[in-house]
Amino acid sequence: MSSPIVKLEEKVTQEILKGAFTEGKHQENAHFTMMDVAIDPEKAKKLLPMGMKLTNPAKGILYVANFDKPNFTQPYKEAGLLLHVSKYGLSEGYYCCWMLVNDDTALIYGREIVAFPKKMADITYDDDGEVVHSTIHRRGINILDLKVKRKNRLDTPEPFWGRKMFNIGGFFQFFAFLNVVWSLHGQEEILLAYEAEAELTLKGSEFDPISEIIIGQPLRTRIAKLNILGAKYFFPSGLAGLAWFSRTISMRYR
C-alpha cells in the first residue's frame, strides 16, 4: 500500500507534467549514443548544489541523441552530461549539469517545465547503420566530435532515459535567490541496443568546459533506439543554494 507521501508525490507529478508529457510516447524512435565517462572530481564538485556529492570513483554519462519523432515539436538533436551523485547520502541518481539542443521549442520545454539546463547549439547525428558520427559546434568552437561503431547486440540493456535524475530550475525558479532541485525518474521502452566502441574528441570553452570535466576516452559505450514514455515522478526535493548559482552561471546561462 502506498504511503500518504508517495500518493502526494504522484498527485503533484501528474499536475506538474500535465501538458508536458501527454499520454502515449513522448519521444518515439529516439536514437541514443551513451557513454560512461570518468570525471575530474575537483572540477565537477564545483557544479553541484547543496547536499550533493559525487560518487567514488567520480563518474558520469555523456550522451548524444537524435529525436526523430517527438510529440511536441519537430525532430531535433540533443547532448548532455550527467554526473553520478549521492543526495544527502541517502539517494543516488544523476545530476544534469550540461545540456544542448538544436531546437528552440525543445529548449523551452526542457528549461521551463522539467528543469534541464538546455542551451542552443549546432548538433549532427549521422547513422549509416554501422557507425554513428556526431558533432557539436557552439560559439565558434567544435566542442565534440564522436565516432561510434556498433559491436554486439544487448539482450538485456541497462537503462538509458529510465534513470533517477536531479535537475535545477524550472517551476518556482527565482534566478539567483531560489533554485529548486527536482527529482525526476524517466520511463522508457528500449527497442534495440548495442555495445559499441567510441573515438571521442572534446574541446571546451568558458561556457562549455566539458573537456576539463571528462577524463580520457569513454569507459563504456552503447547505442540504442527507444521510446521515451514520460516520467514516473517529478517533485521538488531541495534547494540548490546561492553558491551553486555563482559557480555555474557561465555554464548554465551563456
What pLDDT sits at residue 26?
A: 76
Q: What is the pTM of this model?
A: 0.88
Note whether 161 and 116 are within 8 A (CB). Answer: no
Asked whether the bond before 57 is cis by omega within 30 degrees of 0, the reply is: yes
Residue 118: pLDDT over 80: yes
* pLDDT tens digits, 167-199: 887 765 665 567 888 898 999 999 999 999 999
Model confidence at 9: pLDDT above 80: no
Number of residues assigned to the chain:
254
pLDDT at position 172 is: 58
* 19-29 pLDDT tens trace: 444 445 678 99
Q: Which pLDDT score is estimated for 84?
A: 97
CA angle 6, 9, 14 (to 5 degrees): 130
Written as nine digits, the cell of 147 is 565516432
CA of residue 71 relative to chain centroid, distance: 19
Pairing of strands 180-202, 76-87: unpaired
Q: How far apart are CA 148 and CA 218, in angstroms?
A: 11
Percent of the chain with pLDDT strictly greater than 70? 87
For cell 570535466, the residue is 213
Q: Are strands 118-120 and 91-101 parallel, antiparallel or unpaired?
A: parallel
**pLDDT of res. 13:** 45
- φ, ψ for residue 20, nearest 5 deg: -80, -45
Rounded Cα gap, residues 146 and 133, in angstroms: 6
pLDDT exceeds cutoff 60 at 15: no
User: 194 CB contacts (<8 Å, ≥6 apart)?
Assistant: 150, 151, 152, 153, 154, 222, 223, 224
Q: Is residue 195 a contact partner of residue 221, using CB atoms and an 8 Å limit?
A: yes
pLDDT number for residue 110: 87
